[in-house]
Amino acid sequence: MSEAPGMQEQLLAEFNAIVSETERLLTGQSTGTAVEAVPGAGLDERLTDNLRAARERLEQLEDSVLQRTKAAFKATDTYVHEHPWQAVGIAAGIGLLIGLLLRRR
């Protein structure tokens, strides 16, 4: 689960790149991409391609996060079934810590 911050940074970087590319297309600046060399490849087609690529990447990341979440749930469930008293102790400790933090406010 330590890869979640890295995935967020990667997703943010990709969306920033897509937003930048879309801004360049909307302002009419040259992008230097191979799409411009294709006859008939207009602004609408390039914007659609950018949005389609963003949607596909988001779906891939969603699948990855879903798989990791399922794996984490399964591991937690297995741990709790194998060590129920330790799980109760951990939950009580976390509850106590949260209670103390909220009380300080």
pTM equals 0.48
Residue 91: predicted pLDDT: 93
Q: What is the pLDDT of residues 39-61, one digit of tens each?
A: 555 767 777 787 778 778 878 88
Tell me, rounded to whole angstroms, the distance of Cα 95 from its chain centroid.
Answer: 28
Residue 90: predicted pLDDT: 93
Residue that has been written with the tokens 């988001």 in this structure: 58
- When the pLDDT of each residue in the chain is averaged and rounded to a whole number, the result is 78
- Are the C-beta atoms of 31 and 25 separated by less than 8 Å? yes
